[in-house]
Amino acid sequence: MELGLAGRSAIVTGGASNIGRAIVRGLVDEGALVTIADVDEAQAQRVADESPPGRVFVDRTDVTDVESVEGMVQRTLAAAGAPHILVNCAGWTIDRLFLDKPRSEWEREIAVDIWGFINVTRALLPHMVAQLYGRVVSIGSDAGRIGEWREAVYSGTKASVIAMSKSLARELGGRGITFNVVCPGIVPGQRETSGAASVWSGEQGAQFTPEILEKAARAYPLRRVGTPEDIVPAVLFLASDCASYITGQTLSVSGGYTMM
């Protein structure tokens, strides 16, 4: 299938590590120009260095900070033109029982997962409206579909992304802009592809020992947890004109963990 992404300008938030990194590489392989908007500039630069020259732009961006986001958008306009594609991939969580979780972690989850989505989407939409074209693909989570154990607030943030995407799909479909959500299950980060800012480089990653991951895999019909590369095909498809008649949809790419 010809996706027609060559020459498209794309922004991937959280594109330095894990799922975001794999999405950047997938877009580049399809010929897109990609801006990595990530707080981890060093790791983002490593991804850019792995890519063909002039195809990946690095912009140190804090998605929770409106001024940082607006600056990133202006620099992307100058470097690669008006973005055709936005992949909201930046996310943060630490799994913990609700009663054991400090407020600082709730606030961080809400800031990155909800406000990050709002800040970046709002900053980009005027440019997509002006060109009557846009593909917004957000990385949700199966937690946002079912309400996952030890992920109460995170489940709520990802459910919010799903609901906001549906509302925006209704508002902006007439402007040629689509909104869809891809929901992974467990996709463990690998140390060799995770920067220092990645949740998988800290306490979150330490919780998922090989024994825990083996136990988790047994809950999946396909009997394995996901890899970053498993998520990429769905994102590329929804970011392409092959999916021009698909909007407001939520697609689980999680080995059958949820079937909805």
CA-wise closest residue to 246 among 165, 182, 183, 178: 178
Q: Which of 43, 42, 53, 44 is nearest to 12 (CA)?
A: 44
In Å, what is the CA distance from 37 to each residue of 19, 125, 159? 14, 16, 23
User: How many Å apart are CA 69 and CA 91, to the nearest integer?
Assistant: 15
Spatial contact of 82 and 8, defined as CB atoms under 8 Å apart: no
Q: How far apart are CA 96 and CA 103, in angstroms?
A: 12
With CA atoms as reference, report the closest residue to 226 among 251, 203, 199, 257.
257
The question of whether 154 is a catalytic residue gets the answer: yes
CA-based nearest residue to 247, from 153, 134, 142, 146: 134
CA neighbor of 138 nearest in space, from 225, 45, 253, 28: 253
Which residue among the candidates 133, 154, 245, 257 is catalytic per the annotation? 154
Catalytic residues: 154
